[in-house]
Structures are given as structure tokens and as C-alpha cells.
Amino acid sequence: MIELEVYSVLYSLLSRHRVVLLKELSGERFLPIWIGQHESEAIAMRLQGASVPRPMTHDLLNSAIGELGGVLQYILVNDLSNGTFYAQLAVEQNGQMRMIDSRPSDAIALAVRAQVTIYSEDEVLDKAGILPSPDIRPAHEEGADLDVFREFIENLDIDDEDAEDAESSE
């Protein structure tokens, strides 16, 4: 398993497409995953430290896991099949580890709330990981931050129907 962190949540101003961008901690690869609008907002809000007066769905799930005696240990992006990512929640309950099927977007939104580690299976990152281009300015240079990924998203050959199918199959 490869440890990842949420690098950014990207969206196109010209369409409804949203991508959560995960970065491997011990390397240079990024893992872009298409996600829905609500999940992208849930992830971005938490990363920005924003709070809401009532619990959102992912807050509720985090609380329910705890109230039922479980502890979320980590999440795992465990598969990529036919263009669809799959994930699992690793929940420890009564000394047993339970792997619960999840959409990656929901798993990531839960992970940022519970402050647990995000992992990917090696094969998933090998299939879908991308490297920054050598001619891209380092992220620490002013104005360089995520230009490479914005360009990547804007130049993808995907129509809205395909994006909706990907989101609904998550």
C-alpha cells in the first residue's frame, strides 16, 4: 500500500467536472479521481477548516462509526476497473478489522474528517498515477501551484454524459 495525501480539489469553471487530486507521500505521482459536486465540497470545506451548524453526511457517518464502537483506522483506494475507482473503509470494531466498501469520494471525505491515513494499492497508482511534466514550474514558485492539473482536466476528452456516468458509478 502507498500512503497518499489530499493535494487539492479541482474543478472546471466551464463544466461540472470535479477531481480530487491525491499525491503519494514518498514519491512524485498524483492520483486524480473524478468525484461529485457534493463530495468535492465536503472535502474542500474540511480542508479549509470551514464548519457548518449541523453535521453533514460524512460527519454523521464518522459519528455513527464511533457510536457503534468502531474506529476508522484508514481508507484504501483498492481498485480501478473499467474507469471506476473503488475504495474501502478500514474500521476496527471489537478487536476485528472490517473492510467496508465505499465510493472513493465518500471515503476521502470521511478520512479528512477522522484525520486518518489514505492509502492506495500499488496497482491502482501504477494504472492511474500521473507525473508532473518536467517543464512545469515547482509548486513553491508563485502562480505555479496547480496549473498542470487544471490544464490536464481542461484538455481531457470527456463529455458530460461520461462524467455523469463515472460519478453515478462511484
60-80 pLDDT, tens digit per residue, is 888 889 889 999 999 999 999
Q: How confident is the model at residue 9 (pLDDT cuts 50, 70, 90)?
A: confident
pLDDT in tens, 140-151: 444 444 554 555
Provide the CATH number for the domain around residue 59: 3.10.690.10
Mean pLDDT over the full length of the chain: 80
**Residue 40, pLDDT above cutoff 50:** yes
Is the pLDDT at 161 greater than 80? The verdict is: no
Q: At what angle do helices 104-114 and 57-67 cross, to 10 degrees?
A: 70
- Residue numbers of the domain that contains 118: 2-169
The total number of structural domains that make up the chain: 1
